[in-house]
Structure 1
Amino acid sequence: MARYVLLLNRGSGGNDRGLDANEVSNSVEKIFREAGHHIRSVLVSPGALDAALQEAISTTPDGIIVAGGDGTASAAARRLGGSLVALGILPMGTFNLAARDLGVPLEMEEAARFLAAAEPLPVDVLEVNGHACLCTTILGFYPQFADTFERRDHGGRWWKKSLRLVTGLPRYFSEARPIDLSWRGDEQGTARTKFSAFVPGRYKASAGIVPARTEFQSGTFTGYVGTQRNAAAAMRGMFDYIFGRQEKNPELILFKASKLELLGGKKRDTVVMLDGEILRMSFPIRLEIKPGHLKVLTTPENIADEKEDKT
């Protein structure tokens, strides 16, 4: 019998869409117990998540299930990385990128059944100035743009936010100030950029507006540094991404690394989006992949490398 703790973030976006915290915890407990596991639930306010994680870890469970969005998952990964305690993600956020990447269904009961039957498997984690990144770290115009509409529509539907991104991109891209970005370490280079993303593993070359990753155990991360100068070029880049052609875009610098240091020219700091959380980080920003640093509840096929299309 495996032992689990369910930590349910009361402040996650899913609560704004009608998901009742008590009903979710009761449903998850029932499903895990029917699968032969022991589980207890803790309802957590956003400011108390770190303390709740510490307390849960001290009881040495086999796994901790966090119910929340990508920020909640990232905070849990920071605590659980390097330990024997597995992380399970119950998606209650807006985009739920980490859950999608690991194959967790987005419907609550289906997600609970998936996690109750999953196994703990190691995946890489990207460390960014001491923060754990499971999905993506973004610099440039997008973090400030996302922060604006998140304040207006916390927890809203992911497709509405994606549509708002597409329609609002020309204006926000045009108004954004570029960063004179340079990087050194495994790779070296410079670019004047309004959008850069750093992803543990890499993005799949597949169509869709919600990003998906592959190479969970490669020991590398991928840098995507955009050199687009105007909104029209940015829109072309956006559509290349939507149709899975981002790696062929001539205005996108791609490279793989295991360790890098980012500098921002004359900028001392910048706004960063790390797994959905908006942070201000000082330069230099240090990125380092931690191979197999975190155990997650999933299945082997969900973290298998994407097959390259030879056609």
Structure 2
Amino acid sequence: MSVPLAPRSAPLFVVFNRASGRGDRDELGPAVEAACRAAGRVCELLPVEEPGRLADTAREAVRRASEAGGVVVAAGGDGTINCVAQAVLGSGCAFGVLPRGTFNYFARTHGIPAELDGALRVLLEERAVPVQVGFLNDRVFLVNASLGLYSQSLEDREVWKRQFGRSRVIAIGAVLATILRGHRSLGLTIESHGPPRKVRTPTVFVGNNALQMEQVGLPEAQAIDQGALAGVMLKPVGRWGLLKLLVRGAMGRLAEADQIVNFAFRRLTVRDRRFGARRVKVATDGEVLWMRLPLRFEVSPHRLMLIRPPGLAEERRQAQASLAEAESGR
């Protein structure tokens, strides 16, 4: 489906979550207004004081942008961006991002700078291009979705953040605590290519972010650029085995681990093989919630019209090809 591109003069409707991301909530609004004023652009700020109001505010931004031929902008971390994208997808509105989170995987993989000035330049100067979106049942995910151990580590990370603040060191510490506390394997039936498979695994992880896959050394990054999702499962492994996998991932060598099962797909169904339909804890872009099985991961038929620099997937493929050639020549 072709979506008209918003002109560079289109008004901006900026949703920003004051409860998320960095401690610059009072500076963001004035900075956005100043940049828009200098560019001759109209902008309207829609701050969110309570996290429970984020979805309603995002829908209101989409309504106003639809009426005005404008752009909906999400300012915050990956969770905030996910929530606003959920409202924008399929609306016909262009989507902009001002990353204010800890990791900012979605923005980084699409070439949007973490610095506010750089992100504003992209927002005000670039055009919208279609980007891939994942679905977990009826929920959008832009970076990843998961169940099992990875989801639990994200929930623990939020507890640590509330106690100790937001940083990458805190996030890594929470993951270590989750691993050392112990875990159980899930008995699942996986349906994708071919007949259903019965598996036991501590976690199912589905990625829609090439940068995240590249950082841990998984080859499915290229598959994401070509329209697929990246599936990752762990074979049953103990605590020390998980710690070794964590180290491999930090070194960008996860694909070398025998305990990793990784594959690309466009549609994947996960069922509980023992208890039938039941609720499980899942995570989408860092936000933890409960869903009823079966879980269906798939590439959305709709694309998100994201304002970003063009040609990034091709640049990434060329970089991967150059790296592979260099390694083969050693």
Smaller-chain TM-score range? 0.7 to 0.9
Hey, what does 1:191 align to over in structure 2? 199
Give CA deviations for 1:95-138 in whole Å, capped at 9, x if unaligned: 22222222222222222223222221111111101000000112
- 2:154 aligns with one of 133, 146, 154: 146
Cα distance 1:217–1:81, how it changes in 2: closer, same or farther (>3 A)? farther
Output the CA distance in 2 between the equivalents of 1:303 and 1:191: 33
Q: 8 Å contact 1:35–1:117 — kept in the other structure? A: no
Question: Looking at both structures, which has the greater relative contact order when contacts are Cα pairs under 8 Å and sequence separation is at least 6?
Answer: 1
Higher mean Cα deviation, 212-221 or 57-66? 212-221
- 1:181 aligns with one of 183, 188, 191: 188
Q: 8 Å contact 1:201–1:218 — kept in the other structure? A: no
- 1:273 aligns with one of 283, 286, 298: 283
For 1:297, give the aligned amino acid: I
Output the CA distance in 2 between the equivalents of 1:208 and 1:252: 12
Give CA deviations for 1:134-186 in whole Å, capped at 9, x if unaligned: 001122123223313412423933322333045425413xx211111221133
- CA shift at 1:260, angstroms? 1.4
Cα distance 1:250–1:81, how it changes in 2: closer, same or farther (>3 A)? same
Hey, what does 2:38 align to over in structure 1? 34
Structure 1 alignment gaps of length 5 or more: none
> Aligned pair 1:50/2:55, yes or no?
yes
Q: Which structure carries more helix by proportion?
A: 2
Q: How does 1:1-311 map to 2 (within 5 A)?
A: 1-14=9-22, 18-21=23-26, 23-45=27-49, 46-59=51-64, 60=66, 61-154=69-162, 156-165=165-174, 167-168=176-177, 170-172=179-181, 175-186=182-193, 188-200=196-208, 202=210, 206-207=214-215, 217-267=225-275, 268-291=278-301, 293-304=303-314, 305-306=316-317, 307-308=320-321, 309-310=324-325, 311=327
Q: RMSD over aligned Cα, in angstroms?
A: 2.5
Output the CA distance in 1 between the equivalents of 2:53 and 2:221: 30
For 1:168, give the aligned amino acid: A
Secondary structure of 2:132's counterpart equals: strand
- CA shift at 1:94, angstroms? 2.7
Give CA deviations for 1:200-253 in whole Å, capped at 9, x if unaligned: 2655664469xx966555221110011141122212222222222222322111
Q: Which has the larger radius of gyration?
A: 2
Secondary structure of 1:83's counterpart equals: coil
Structure 2 alignment gaps of length 5 or more: 1-8
Q: Percent identity?
A: 26
Structure 2 length normalisation: TM-score?
0.83
